[in-house]
Amino acid sequence: MTQRVALATVLDRLAIDALITGYAVAVDDGAWSDYGALFTPDGRADYRGAGGVEGPAEEVARWLEETMRLFPVRQHLIVNRRIDLEDLGGYTGDRAEVRADYLNPMCRARQASSGSDADAPGEAGAGRSGAATPDFVTGGRYTFALHRDEAGWLIRTVTVHEKWRRAPSP
């Protein structure tokens, strides 16, 4: 492998890492147009492994927007990223697969109270003390199939494989 190929491989890995981070940020921030921009035109998302839906990224974004209203505070962490770049005889191709674990704590929407610990606007569940306890936590693994085009790396498919969840007792 030449230095030029090694540098290109490092740059690909950094770009892919930024794409996966962008995915988490878009979902956590409810930036659904940003979410859609991360996908190829034929991109699909499959959340059935976590009790959700599967379909074109644009349709799934609308479903996520509606569903995530229940949890206005979310902070998804995507870790243990394993990136497999297409190998074209020592050169990277335009495809990659990523397997990455996630941990996703979320807080439900709460009614603001009149006391000093009332939730600040935009911080449902956090209160002014910032001592929110997640109402729902889930963990599992994502699998991403990526494609590079002129614009860079994009998600062709993402599949959620939920391994566990913790919700409060009724």
Higher-pLDDT residue of 13, 167 = 13
CATH number at residue 153: 3.10.450.50
What is residue 149's three-state secondary structure? strand
- Residue 82 in any domain: the answer is yes
Which residue type sits at 9? T
Using CA atoms, how far apart are residues 93 and 110, in angstroms rounded to an integer?
48
Mean pLDDT along residues 33-44: 98
- Residue 161 in any domain: the answer is yes
Confidence bin at 163 (pLDDT 50/70/90)? very high
Mean pLDDT along residues 97-105: 97
- For the entire predicted model, the pTM comes to 0.84
CB 126 within 8 A of CB 96: no
User: Which residues, 6+ apart, have CB-to-CB distance to 18 below 8 Å?
Assistant: none
Confidence bin at 170 (pLDDT 50/70/90)? low
State residue 115's pLDDT score.
43
Which structural domain range is residue 84 located in? 3-105+135-166
Q: Structurally, how many domains does the chain consist of?
A: 1
- Residue 143 in any domain: the answer is yes
Q: Is the pLDDT of residue 110 over 80?
A: no
- Residue 125 in any domain: the answer is no
- Residue 116 in any domain: the answer is no
Q: For 12-29, what is each residue's pLDDT tens digit? A: 999 999 999 999 999 999
Name the percent of the chain lying above pLDDT 70: 85
- Residue 74 in any domain: the answer is yes
Task: Supply the DSSP string of 11-74, one letter for each residue.
Answer: HHHHHHHHHHHHHHHHHHHT-HHHHHHTEEEEEEEEEEETT--EEEHHHHHHHHHHHGGG-SEE
* 91 φ/ψ angles, rounded to the nearest 5 degrees: -115, 145
Using CA atoms, how far apart are residues 144 and 96, in angstroms rounded to an integer?
8
Angle at 43 between CA 76 and CA 144, to 5 degrees: 45
